[in-house]
Amino acid sequence: MNTLTILKNAKLYAPQPSGRKDILIGGGRILCIQDDISCNDLSESVVNIVECSELTIIPGLIDGHVHVAGAGGEGGPATRTPEVKRSQLLDGGITTVIGCLGTDGFTRSPRSVLMKVKALRAEGISSWMLTGAYQMPPPTITGDIGKDIAFIEEVIGVGELALSDHRASFVDTGTLIDVASKARVGGMLGGKAGIVQIHMGDAEDPLRPIYNALDMSMIPIEQFMPTHMNRNAWIFKDAIEYGRKGGRIDLTTSSYPYFPDDETKPSSAVRILLENDVPLDRITLSSDGNGSLPGFDDKGNLVRLELGQPASILRELIDMVKIENLPIDVALSTVTTNPAAAYKLSRKGTIHPGYDADLVLLDEEFGIRHVMAQGVFLVKDCSTQPDTFGT
């Protein structure tokens, strides 16, 4: 006998506004969405009914940049950050995560990221990863970027590589093209995005290495995913032009408000990008969760270190709506449909029949009440309010 769930009378953003609907869920998928679904039509099944008349349902959020196996270490062994916990993700309504390494490709490895991704999958979180780290040549699992992506189901791209940063390896144009082409072909063979996620540092004209690679190859601009594009005034200015050219722009949520004098607040950044004619589908938000957020002086010495919080992604989503006055569906696109499309995550990012039942149920104040991942309630009857997220 089948066990089904009906979410009744919910205000639905799929992410497009869809009015009040009933949602039928079974086998981890959304089976149908209708104005009214009657239990009389489901007599051969056990039906759990959840009344949602006071709730809003949105897709589970997708976080494309989380240091799931920990990161950091810029200040020595005591500054290494811990692995992410499932509860940290669920606190932010995150049901899909992409893990990566960062600065430390020496004492940590893609293998540790892979095992943490497998652990999160076992805990009900849809998880993938990027091979590589800041260093060149990128550390891999099989010894080759393309093989990692083509052969290992969980690996969907390479990153985060580092450019325009004092911690980055020297990357000439030919090397960057080689990495991107291997990722692209590996993605083609494995049916994956093969995306190249790049940590952008504080150097002037930071996107020049990417432009040089594009000028000297036939790699499409969408293959690159530069992240931290709101980290300072000059990179954010360059991001506007990059987005107009069709490039993807990933904004980091967890570093604000730690560095308010340098960073553009992500929710404000989305509004500014849209006002400057950057296409909405080019814009994504990610948290940099459990990554170290270091501050350096002008000599490159570490002077402060903060820890990125995954739940910051929900905070900025709420601020896009409440402070920046962006429509809910526009704000949601940056953390649902847009990353799903960029990383080629089928059945993710949209509430639609046949898609995974990854859902977040919010109260009137945008506080999380329930989180469902692949048809299973991982959070039930929670009363967490949004002003606690990221604190």
Write the CATH number for 335: 3.20.20.140
pLDDT of residue 144: 97
Check whether residue 142 and residue 10 sit in a common domain. no
**Beta-carbon contacts of residue 201 (< 8 Å; ≥ 6 apart):** 162, 163, 164, 165, 166, 167, 168, 228
**288 given a catalytic annotation:** yes
Instruction: Quote the CA–CA distance of 182 and 199 in Å, as a whole number.
Output: 19
pLDDT of residue 378: 95
- The DSSP bridge pattern shows strands 2-13 and 56-59 to be parallel
Check whether residue 171 and residue 290 sit in a common domain. yes
Q: Helices 266-275 & 312-322, crossing angle to 10 degrees? A: 50
Check whether residue 138 and residue 213 sit in a common domain. yes
The tally of domains found in the chain comes to: 2
Check whether residue 212 and residue 292 sit in a common domain. yes
For residue 47, pLDDT over 50 is answered with yes
- The DSSP bridge pattern shows strands 17-26 and 2-13 to be antiparallel
Check whether residue 170 and residue 301 sit in a common domain. yes
Mean of the per-residue pLDDT values of the chain: 91
Give the pLDDT confidence of 206-218 residue by residue, as tens digits. 999 999 999 999 9
Q: Which of 63, 250, 288, 319 is catalytic?
A: 288
Check whether residue 21 and residue 148 sit in a common domain. no
Check whether residue 182 and residue 228 sit in a common domain. yes
SS3 state at 250: strand
CA distance readout (Å), 359 to 35, 89, 307, 329: 18, 13, 27, 15
SS3 state at 40: helix
> Is there a contact between 111 and 119 (Cβ–Cβ < 8 Å)?
no
pLDDT of residue 198: 95
pLDDT of residue 326: 98
> Is there a contact between 232 and 245 (Cβ–Cβ < 8 Å)?
no
pLDDT of residue 390: 33
Check whether residue 178 and residue 264 sit in a common domain. yes
pLDDT of residue 36: 93
Degrees to nearest 5, angle at CA 389 with 384 and 391: 125
For residue 235, pLDDT over 90 is answered with yes
Nearest to 30 by CA among 333, 374, 332, 329: 374
Check whether residue 111 and residue 243 sit in a common domain. yes
Give the pLDDT confidence of 242-301 residue by residue, as tens digits. 999 999 999 999 887 777 778 899 999 999 999 999 999 999 999 999 987 766 667 667
Give pTM, 2 decimals: 0.93
Residue 374 phi/psi, 5-degree rounding, is: 50, 45
pLDDT of residue 41: 65
pLDDT of residue 386: 43
Check whether residue 41 and residue 150 sit in a common domain. no
Check whether residue 191 and residue 78 sit in a common domain. yes
Check whether residue 365 and residue 379 sit in a common domain. yes
Degrees to nearest 5, angle at CA 117 with 256 and 308: 15
For residue 385, pLDDT over 60 is answered with no
**Structural domain of 361:** 2-58+349-388
pLDDT of residue 40: 74
Write the CATH number for 33: 2.30.40.10
Instruction: Quote the CA–CA distance of 196 and 177 in Å, as a whole number.
Output: 10
